[in-house]
């Protein structure tokens, strides 16, 4: 935070910050970690799904389907579902195109810089969560749209993490 030169030492989770402040902080992280920003953002996406402290996001995503393909098809609705959970969160639109069985393109519409990279981490972590083996590739599309190509190699590659729709009571 010191290297970003913002004049404060931490971000508050529930506040909205100007884009330039987030950009400066991310640039400082990239320099400090000596890693490319897209890799860091993908790690953030993985963290958001796999860290037990943010289990609510994983649960929100798992409501998308009983397997990875159903989950992928639910992504078109993700911005609206996210807004139900956090009313002032405005995620860019998503559009899934099935190119062939097991081959998908996820179009990430413009709106939040780095969103597609974070989503790559989310998609990877959710594949692990479902026990699916996937290949992901990021490329630029047209008019600022980014494309994540998803190849589902094996839908039941490993045992997925347990998931129960009902709440547990002690």
Domain ranges, ordered by start, for the chain: 1-34, 38-154
Instruction: Assign domain 38-154 to a CATH class.
Output: alpha beta
Low-confidence ranges of the chain (pLDDT < 50): 169-170
Q: Using H for helix, E for strand and C for coil, what is the string for 82-137? A: HHHHCCCCCCCCEEEEEEECCEEEEEECCCCCCHHHHHHHHHHHHHHHHCCEEEEE
pLDDT at position 170, please? 44
pTM score of the predicted model: 0.84
pLDDT at position 160, please? 58
pLDDT at position 169, please? 44
Over residues 42-52, the pLDDT tens digits come to: 999 999 888 88
pLDDT at position 64, please? 78
pLDDT at position 68, please? 92
Please report, for residues 4, 32, 40, 120, 123, the alpha-carbon distance to residue 20 in angstroms, rounded to integers and kept in the order given: 11, 18, 18, 23, 27
């Amino acid at each position: 935070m010191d290297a970003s030169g913002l004049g404060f030492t931490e971000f508050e989770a529930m506040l909205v910050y100007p884009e330039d402040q987030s950009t400066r902080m991310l640039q400082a992280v990239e320099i400090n970690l000596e890693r490319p920003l897209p890799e860091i953002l993908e790690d953030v996406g993985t963290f958001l799904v796999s860290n037990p402290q943010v289990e609510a996001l994983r649960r929100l995503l798992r409501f998308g389907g009983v397997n990875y393909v159903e989950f992928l098809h639910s992504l078109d609705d993700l911005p609206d579902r996210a807004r139900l959970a956090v009313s002032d969160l405005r995620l860019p639109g998503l559009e899934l195109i099935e190119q062939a069985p097991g081959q998908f393109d996820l179009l990430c519409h413009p709106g939040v810089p780095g969103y597609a990279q974070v989503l790559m981490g989310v998609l990877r972590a959710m594949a692990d969560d479902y026990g699916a083996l996937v290949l992901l590739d990021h490329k630029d599309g047209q008019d600022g749209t980014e494309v994540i190509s998803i190849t589902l190699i094996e839908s039941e590659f490993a045992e997925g993490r347990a998931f129960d729709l009902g709440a547990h009571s002690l």
